Amino acid sequence: MLSAISRFLHFKLTVWPRILVLGLAVAFAGRSGTAQDTPLISGGGGFLTSTNGGNTTYLPIIEPLIAAPLGRHLLVESRAALLETFTPNTSLKGGYDASFFAGLTYLQGDIKATPHLTVVAGSFLIPFNTYNERLSPIWIGNFQDGPLILNLGTLSTGTGVGGELRGSAVDRDSYSITYAGFFSARSGNEQFNSERSFGGQSSLYLHRARLEGGLSYDRSLQGMQENFYGGHIWWEPKDTGFRLRGEGARGHHAQGYWFEADYRLQRFGGPDSWIGRFEPVFRMQQTFRRDKIVSDGLPLENTQRADFGFDYNLPHNWRILTSYSRQFSATDNRNIWETGIVYRFLFPAWKGKMH
């Protein structure tokens, strides 16, 4: 009981003041804006379960996101996470242990300097490969957990504190090239933890083929000062319901890859038919150790894992996620079962004024 009270007081005294200040700043700056300037509140919530090695964990979670335009050239955006984890107590008393967490995932300001350049300042998601920026929100990913190589290139926290330059370098009818470069300072703040680092990403998108490929690089400038290299590919053929995505990454101590294919059965009566809402998913991933130094969050042994998912897209932005995984390594083979239900929400903070 005392631990629950202390977690609640910690949340009240450390997290809510930051969220409140952000909300008041956005409200003061944008309350008199037009409909186009009205802040949007988005995000997702869900209840997830995971059975790993015979132990089941329960995870209720909500991830709110706000995007608040302040004039024509400035956008403030932030995402938070509030979750409670219930894990089995393996001692003689049994039952479950609860662990509460609340914090800001990122908080950044985007300045649109030119049609080809956006300047980002604050706490931002590190632009290495694609999963960290595009697939990590619970309402987007097809699986509950991220790939095994997620920590490679995202520098343990997944966020940087500093500045970023990004935009479209070339935009033609048949293709476009985007870029992102960042520098992060070292921060030990509880809410904005980051490593001193720099890096960037560039990708090529072929419009007609709906095919994207890109390369990433970053370097940690503290501790072991490691280099990380990455590459990604996305393919989404038009009007097929099929998607193929994959990444590879290499660090000083480990390397690996993952690829994921999903197919929504929309050809059977359309995407809104009861059959068309089903979405089979498959993900294959492998990690390879280059040494046994613990520094990157990857398994200490070469590991293979196959994930089989079967999702269902309910009306009104609800999704049911189910999956079975089989993981193999020299020291441990295990089954992993995961289920969950997720809801995506989106609404304006208030009714905007029209000209």
Q: Is the pLDDT of residue 210 over 70?
A: yes
| Residue 321 covered by a domain | yes
pLDDT at position 352, please?
63
115, 130 Cβ separation under 8 angstroms: no
- Give the SS3 label for residue 201: strand
Q: Specify the pairing of strand 318-329 against strand 242-250.
A: unpaired
162, 182 Cβ separation under 8 angstroms: yes
202, 194 Cβ separation under 8 angstroms: no
CA pair distance 234, 244, nearest whole angstrom: 6
Residue 344: domain span? 2-348
Q: Which CATH number does the domain housing residue 139 bear?
A: 2.40.160.10
pLDDT at position 36, please?
63
pLDDT, average across residues 96-105: 92
pLDDT tens for 322-346 read 999 999 998 889 999 999 999 999 9
Q: Is the pLDDT of residue 25 over 70?
A: no
Q: Specify the pairing of strand 254-263 against strand 227-235.
A: unpaired
| Residue 254 covered by a domain | yes
311, 328 Cβ separation under 8 angstroms: no
pLDDT at position 355, please?
47
| Residue 194 covered by a domain | yes
Which residues 6+ apart lie within 8 Å of 191 measured at CB? 14, 15, 18, 103, 104
- Say what the pTM is: 0.86
The percentage of the chain sitting over the pLDDT mark of 90, rounded to a whole number, equals: 73
pLDDT at position 353, please?
57
The overall average pLDDT reported for the chain is 88
pLDDT at position 225, please?
87
pLDDT, average across residues 181-208: 94
pLDDT, average across residues 218-225: 89
- Could you write out the DSSP letters of every residue in 40-83? EEEEEEEEEEEEETTEEEEEEEEEEEEEEE-SSSEEEEEEEEEE
CA pair distance 281, 295, nearest whole angstrom: 31
Element (H, E) at 22: helix 16-30
CA pair distance 9, 2, nearest whole angstrom: 10
pLDDT greater at residue 250 or residue 89:
250
Question: Distances in Å between the alpha carbon of 349 and those of 68, 86, 95, 139, 314?
Answer: 9, 32, 41, 20, 25
User: The tokens of 134 are what?
Assistant: 């595009």
Rg of the chain's alpha carbons, rounded to an integer?
21
Q: Is the pLDDT of residue 112 over 90?
A: yes
**Count: domains in the chain:** 1
pLDDT, average across residues 175-191: 93
| Residue 326 covered by a domain | yes
Give residue for tokens 């009104």.
316
| Residue 355 covered by a domain | no
pLDDT at position 24, please?
44
| Residue 18 covered by a domain | yes
Contacts for 186-189: CB closer than 8 Å, 24+ residues apart: 186/222, 187/161, 189/161
